[in-house]
Amino acid sequence: MLYLSHPACLEHDPREGLPGHPERPERLRAIEAALAAHEWLGWERRESPAASTEELELVHPGAHVERIRDLCSAGGGAIDADTFAGEASWEAALRSAGAACEMTRALLRGETEVGFAAGRPPGHHAEPERAMGFCLFDNVAVAAALAIAELGIERVFILDWDVHHGNGTAEIFRERADVLFASIHQGGIFPGTGAREETGSGRGEGLTINRPVPAGSDEGVWLPLLEDELLPAAAAFEPQLVLISAGFDAHRDDPLAECRLETASFARMAGLVRAAAANWGAPVGAVLEGGYDLDALADSVVATMAALGGEAS
Ligand SMILES: [Zn+2]
C-alpha cells in the first residue's frame, strides 16, 4: 500500500487570486493529519516526482502545458472564475500529476496492489487544451495514458466517483478503445456534461458510461449503480489497471453539492472496487479529486484507504 504526495502540493493556493476558494491547502493538511492519527494505516509514504513535460503531453497539447507554465512563471492569475494558477502552482501541478504517474508505475511494477495519489490541484475537469474547474492538468488521465503508452498496459478502467462529472477525462478518452471511463455524479451541476446518452464515439463508442444522479442521492442510489452496472461493464472490458478519480464531494457534509453519501459509503465503494479488481488481477490506484468539507474529506480518505488496503468497513 503506497501513498504519494509532495509538500509542493501545499503551496498551490487559489485564494491568492480567488478569495474564499474552497480548493485550499488545508484539504491536504486535513487528510494527512487524519492519516497520521491512524499511523498512516501502515501504508508506505513516498514523495512524488515531478511529472515530465512528455508525460503531460500524453494528453495535453504542448501549447496548453506552455500556457500554464508561462502563467505561473509570470506570477500567476485567475484562468476563469473557478480556476487559478499562481507562481507555486506549476511545481504543485507537476507533483500532483507526478503522484498519479509514480503510483501507476509502482502498481505496474508490482510493488504494491493499491495506491493513493494525494496531489492538488485536482485534475478531472482539465480538458486537453483548457484548465477549468480548479484543475490545470488531468492527473488521472496522464497516469492512464502513461500506463498505456509506456508501461505495457492495453486496457485501463477509470472510475470517477467525484460528485462532479469528470469532463476532462471523458473528453480525453472519448474516442479511445483502450480506456473505459465510468462516472457517477450529481446531474445538473458543474460542469454540465455527463448525460447518460454520452457513451463515447468512434473506437470509443460504448466505453464512456455516465450515471448522473439527482440531488439528495445517498448510497442506496450510488452503490447499486456501482455494483450492478459499472463494475459488470468493467469486468467485460477486462481492465489491467483500475484508477479511481476519487473525489469526496458526494459526502452529505460537502458544501459544493447535494448528494448524501456517508463516510462509510466511500469505504463500501472502495471495497467493491478492490474486490472486483482482485478478480480481474488488476491493481487499484486512487487519485484525489474534490472534497471540500475538511472533516468529511479527511475521514473519507482514511476510510477509502483502509478499505483499499483490505480492512473491513
Ligand atoms: Zn468535484
**Cell 450492478 maps to which residue?**
228
Q: Which of 12, 60, 125, 251 is an active site residue?
A: 125
User: What whole-number distance in Å separates Cα of residue 287 and Cα of residue 96?
Assistant: 9
76 φ, ψ (degrees, to nearest 5): 90, 180
Structure confidence at residue 313 as a pLDDT band (50, 70, 90): very low
Mean pLDDT of the chain: 98
User: What whole-number distance in Å separates Cα of residue 222 and Cα of residue 228?
Assistant: 10
Beta strand 156-160 with 241-246: parallel, antiparallel or unpaired? parallel
CA 38 to ligand 1 center in whole angstroms: 25
Q: Which of 234, 220, 219, 217 is nearest to 275 (CA)?
A: 234
Longest dimension (CA), the chain: 49
CA 124 to ligand 1 center in whole angstroms: 9
pLDDT at 8 over 70: yes
CA 165 to ligand 1 center in whole angstroms: 7
Structure confidence at residue 312 as a pLDDT band (50, 70, 90): very low
What long-range pairs does 13-16 form, CB within 8 A, spacing at least 24?
Answer: 13/86, 13/88, 14/83, 14/84, 14/86, 14/134, 16/76, 16/84, 16/86
CA 109 to ligand 1 center in whole angstroms: 30
Structure confidence at residue 219 (pLDDT) = 98
pLDDT tens digits along 57-103: 999 999 999 999 999 999 999 999 999 999 999 999 999 999 999 99
Give Cα separations from 19 to 82, 226, 292 (angstroms): 10, 36, 15
CA 152 to ligand 1 center in whole angstroms: 30
CA 290 to ligand 1 center in whole angstroms: 4
CA 287 to ligand 1 center in whole angstroms: 12
CA 215 to ligand 1 center in whole angstroms: 14
Enter the C-alpha cell of residue 133: 474547474
pLDDT at 158 over 50: yes
Structure confidence at residue 311 (pLDDT) = 67
Mean pLDDT of 9-28: 98
pLDDT tens digits along 264-280: 999 999 999 999 999 99
CA 249 to ligand 1 center in whole angstroms: 6
3-state secondary structure the chain: CEEEECHHHHCCCHHHCCCCCCCCHHHHHHHHHHHHHCHHHHCEEEECCCCCHHHHCCCCCHHHHHHHHHHHHCCEEECCCCCEEECCHHHHHHHHHHHHHHHHHHHHCCCCCEEEECCCCCCCCCECCECECCECCCHHHHHHHHHHHHCCCCCEEEEECCCCCCHHHHHHHCCCCCEEEEEEEECCCCCCCCCCCCCCCHHHCCCEEEEEECCCCCHHHHHHHHHHHHHHHHHHHCCCEEEEEECCCCECCCCCCCCCECHHHHHHHHHHHHHHHHHHCCCEEEEECCCCCHHHHHHHHHHHHHHHCCCCC
Mean pLDDT of 113-135: 98
pLDDT tens digits along 187-235: 999 999 999 999 999 999 999 999 999 999 999 999 999 999 999 999 9
Active site residue 125: yes
